[in-house]
Amino acid sequence: MRHDDDELMSYQEEAEGRFDNFATGFEGNEDVYYDEDYEEGYDYLPGWGEYGANPYAFNNYQSTSIGRIDPNDRTLTLIIKNSSTNDAEAILFGANEEAPQAQDVEVSVAESSHKEVREESKAHPFKIAGMKMSVSDPLQFDNVLKITRKTATGSITARVYQPRNASSPQNFDNNLVDDNNFEMDVTGQDSLRFTIRAGATVVFTFTIKARANMGNLLKGNNVAELSTVPRTTGLPQLDLLRKRPTSAFGLPARPAPVPRQTIPSRRPPSRIVRRPRS
């Protein structure tokens, strides 16, 4: 039994002599230890760090890249006249379908022509935000407006707008309504339809909030353009109050700069430092 214990002790001493540093397992490195104070930093790619990608680093689609619509170039004035003795349906926009107007119904645009507006909406769709509607007959407000979208595959989506919702007892002009909340997207698929009373005249003043200008591609710029000036209501007190930065496309008008984040570097494996022999 004594012989067996001596044999085991000899094996242990031999193992400890060869592998004194059990952390490394290298023979002859018994004088090696670890420097826990050593730390090496890593250089990450732009927008990346120890904890993954920075969601703000690659967001180049900022409001500074969006074009600005000239405040004097954002109004459409459509004049619709029904010279017949019967009520008839009037169709505004609807460039793809090109549905004909009812007999004795005339649609004109003060800034250009209805045909030109239709053609431009195909390649340069725009968004209307705000409308003034004046009529020669106050009963015209009883007829709803139908905002319709018709696709080439035959699907039709219609939304109904009631002009009476924009009327108010404080409005001293019974032939005019002004609705800042009216919105409509105008593409080749969209049209505005309503029934115009016999012998009536209706004038729409639309304000363009945003549009796509495909010509910006030739300059290497963003195709999106935004009107940064609030639409005019004619009431000075209200216009001054609403004159503040607006937002669109889900982006702030003036985004605050994102501060640079300092991400702590990951501690790498400790460096092996040889202990000086005594």
In terms of domains, do 10 and 76 share one?
Answer: no
In terms of domains, do 47 and 95 share one?
Answer: no
- What are the structure tokens assigned to 75, written together? 């109004």
In terms of domains, do 102 and 15 share one?
Answer: no
How many helices (H) and strands (E) would you count in the chain? 3, 15
Instruction: Compute the distance between CA of residue 224 and CA of residue 249 in angstroms, rounded to an integer.
Output: 9
pLDDT at 231: 76
pLDDT at 166: 87
pLDDT at 58: 41
Q: Is residue 25 part of a domain?
A: yes
Closest CA to 209 of 237, 194, 223, 230: 230
| Total domains present in the chain | 2
Contact 132, 176 (CB under 8 A): yes
In terms of domains, do 80 and 198 share one?
Answer: yes
Quote the pTM value: 0.62
Per-residue CA distances from 26 to 23, 35, 88, 271, 274 (Å): 9, 18, 97, 15, 13
Mean pLDDT, residues 88-117: 95
In terms of domains, do 124 and 150 share one?
Answer: yes
In terms of domains, do 79 and 126 share one?
Answer: yes
Task: Print the domain residue range for 84.
Answer: 69-241
Instruction: Compute the distance between CA of residue 175 and CA of residue 76 in angstroms, rounded to an integer.
Output: 19
Instruction: Compute the distance between CA of residue 14 and CA of residue 144 in angstroms, rounded to an integer.
Output: 100
For residue 205, is pLDDT > 90? yes
User: Of the ranges 47-56, 125-134, 159-168, 252-261, which one carries the lowest mean pLDDT score?
Assistant: 47-56
In terms of domains, do 36 and 84 share one?
Answer: no
- What are the structure tokens assigned to 190, written together? 């969209």
Contact 148, 166 (CB under 8 A): no
In terms of domains, do 78 and 170 share one?
Answer: yes
In terms of domains, do 50 and 75 share one?
Answer: no
In terms of domains, do 52 and 101 share one?
Answer: no
